[in-house]
Amino acid sequence: MAITYLENGDVYDEYQMVHPEKGIFPFGCALVMNREQYEALTPEEIQKIKEDRYYSWYNQLMAASSIVADNSVIESDYVVIDESANTEVI
């Protein structure tokens, strides 16, 4: 994965991980932070942050996997912005 820079100058360090023991559960992520902050970190610290994010997500994944979805198939409710309602000329 590559390190790039966002328009505001922030570092965008993209990476992908799988569970190191299970070899599964792929996870794509990116560290986004101020460039000075990023460059002050050691490679080991950066790797630790990446792994922490992975495990944080993985733990949430495992915790969330007990929810029962409603079996009814429901169209998503959504909003079409009624532009005309708010186009009062001032």
Partner 1 sequence: MTTKYWRNAAGGAWATAGNWSLSSGGPANTTVPGAADDVIFDQNATYTVTFAGPLVVGLSISFQAGVVTFSHGTYNLQSRTWNISAGARLNHTFSSGYVLCGDGGSNAGTYNNNGTVVITATTTTTCFMQYGGTFNNNTGASFSITNTAVNGTQFYLLAAPTSGCDFNNAGTFTATNNSQTGAGVVFLSGNYNNTGTATWNYPAAAGTTGIQFSSAKNITALFGSSTFNMATNLNADAITFGSSPGSFTITLLDNLTITRRVSLVFNSLNLNGKTITCGQFTIGNSTGSKGITWNGGSIYATSSGSAFVNNTSAINAGTLTLAAGTGTGYIIFTNASAKTLSNTVLTWTYPCILGNSGGTLTVNKSTYGGLVAFSSGATFLIDNSNPISITNPGIVGDGTSIALQSTSASLTATISWVGSGNPAVNPAYTLTRIILFASGVYYYSFCTGFDLYSRYSNGAGGTTSSLTQTNSATCGYVPPPTYSVAAAVGNIDEGSNLTINATTTNVADGTTLYWTINHVTTSDADFSAVSGSFTITSNTGSFTVTPTTDFINEGPETFTVSIRTVSVSGTIVATTSSVTVNDTSTSLTIGFFGSFF
For 86, the token pair is 């708010």
Q: Is 16 in the site for partner 1 (CB under 8 A)?
A: yes
CB of 25 to partner 1, least distance (A): 7
Q: Which of 3, 5, 32, 45 binds partner 1 (CB under 8 A)?
A: 32
Number of neighbouring beta carbons within 10 Å of residue 48 = 12
Q: Is 88 in the site for partner 1 (CB under 8 A)?
A: yes
CB 39 within 8 A of CB 24: no
Nearer Cβ to partner 1 (42/65): 65
CB 11 within 8 A of CB 35: yes
Q: Is 61 in the site for partner 1 (CB under 8 A)?
A: yes
Nearer Cβ to partner 1 (39/79): 79
Provide CB contacts within 8 A for 13, sequence distance 6+: 1, 3, 30, 31, 32, 38, 46
Q: Is 14 in the site for partner 1 (CB under 8 A)?
A: yes
